[in-house]
Structure 1
Amino acid sequence: MAGAANFLRRAADGQVIADNTDGKGLVTDITGGAGWSLKDARILIVGAGGAVKGVIPALLEAGPAEILIVNRTPERAASLASDWASRDARVRGGGLDAANSGPWNLVINGTSTGLAGEMPALPETMSLTDAFGYDMAYGAGPTPFMRWAEGRGAAAVRDGLGMLVEQAAESFYLWLGHYPDTQPPH
């Protein structure tokens, strides 16, 4: 259970059911849209808010070796990680300096810093060589995180527009019982 919801529906018995389609949208965009495997991957997630909380279950389902959640407030990352660590030892949390414990296969920016044209304060010495840099935010052009990831040697970068499309497709499925065709937005 994600512990965060972005979708409500009423069951036949009248009960309201909450769900979260963000994780499914993220994983579908990464694995289907971008063609990256998450099986046995080392995943770094920057940010510890509701957006990140909502995608952890789907990422774990995809079979990574490890998920490290880092945040400018280490206690928030540790708290979010502890919600999962009791059930799954692959999840841990820490401060932004822990991001230097790579190499990482996938680095996800789950913060809102890019909306203000800024970057999370990740270590200057951090390398993303051969990694995939994914920003859950999206806009008219590359986000500051995407430019930063490219400058650190990322093999590929992508923004969250495909995640938006795929989570909407999942919502469509939950409402109507079938998936719409989705085209990669990139």
Structure 2
Amino acid sequence: MDQYRVYGNPISQSRSPFIHQLFASQTQQPLNYLSELVALDSFANTVRAFAKSGGKGANVTVPFKEQALCLCDQLSSRAQLAGAVNTLTFKEGQILGDNTDGLGLVNDLLAHRVELSGSNILLLGAGGAAKGVVLPLLEQNPETVVVANRTMSKAQKLVEQFNDLRLSAKSFSDVNQMAFDVIINATSASLTGDKLPIEHSLINEQVVCYDMVYGKEDTAFLAFAKQHHAKQAIDGLGMLVGQAAESFYIWRGVKPEVSTVLSQLRTAL
């Protein structure tokens, strides 16, 4: 039976084995997918040993996505631009790297019938999570994508990587004077409980709010969005299942059906 892993530290919270085993059952693919806690200084050795033992592929989560990039013999263009890898494929002695996070986000937004083409999008944060979604968002032909970050230089650096006139970096005080159709939280604020420095005037009945974080309860950002009557307030669970579906497709050549797995996962939270 083909073997797959997800590597992280911590890893006990990972839903990936649950998701991939459901995909395997649904598509009748013979595979075994397990989570593995990796010591912070053992990532490269762990991956190489697994590949050598006949492993077929692996997902990578925090904090190893940048290290995974350096391990790869070949990278997809989206992984190169994201500067991070979440999907490894082992083939003919080579390690191939991809990043499916952005596709997971975009597909979830489209599943919620969010109009991305011609829209003005605000992306909060300029770290790894934000980097991974910029290219797939730009591929949806938005009018603009504005990156806002507490450290302005970090947002500017991200924008320079992509060299696209629709993409710009702004301070939080700047964006609070603007108007957007879609606001995406790619910061860690929902994990730390910090309040985002955006004004409630940005949110109204025409604005979709999306948080990459998910939980049993609404994140602080989504609670804020609902309080100010956002058109939709969507958490990141669909993104999680969507990026997993793209990884599964890369490995198996079969596209699993997402919605039933998403509802099972939602129930299990």
Offset, 1:125: 4.1
1:10 corresponds to 2:90 = yes
Q: How does 1:1-186 map to 2 (within 5 A)?
A: 1=78, 2-12=82-92, 14-32=93-111, 34-84=112-162, 86=163, 88-123=164-199, 125-183=201-259, 184-185=262-263
Which string of whole-angstrom CA distances, capped at 9 and with x for unpartnered residues, describes residues 130-150 of structure 1? 110000001111110001112
Distance 1:123 1:76 in 2: 21
In terms of Rg, which structure is larger? Answer: 2
Offset, 1:152: 2.8
Offset, 1:79: 1.1
- Please report the TM-score for the alignment, with normalisation by the length of structure 2: 0.64
The change in CA–CA distance for 1:139 and 1:46 in structure 2 (over 3 A counts) is same
User: What one-letter code is carried by the residue in structure 2 that aligns with 1:152?
Assistant: H
Distance 1:4 1:93 in 2: 20
Contact 1:133 1:156 in 2 (8 A): yes
Distance 1:147 1:42 in 2: 22
Residue 159 of structure 2 aligns to a residue whose secondary structure is helix
Higher helix share: 2
Distance 2:139 2:170 in 1: 22
| Structure 2 residue runs without a partner (length 5+) | 1-77
User: What one-letter code is carried by the residue in structure 2 that aligns with 1:40?
Assistant: G
Contact 2:124 2:186 in 1 (8 A): yes
Contact 2:180 2:202 in 1 (8 A): no
Identity, % of aligned pairs? 39
CA-based RMSD: 1.5
Distance 1:66 1:139 in 2: 29
User: What one-letter code is carried by the residue in structure 2 that aligns with 1:24?
Assistant: L
The change in CA–CA distance for 1:125 and 1:155 in structure 2 (over 3 A counts) is closer
Offset, 1:106: 0.4
Residue 118 of structure 1 aligns to a residue whose secondary structure is coil
Offset, 1:75: 1.1
| Structure 1 residue runs without a partner (length 5+) | none
Distance 2:122 2:149 in 1: 11
Contact 1:43 1:66 in 2 (8 A): yes
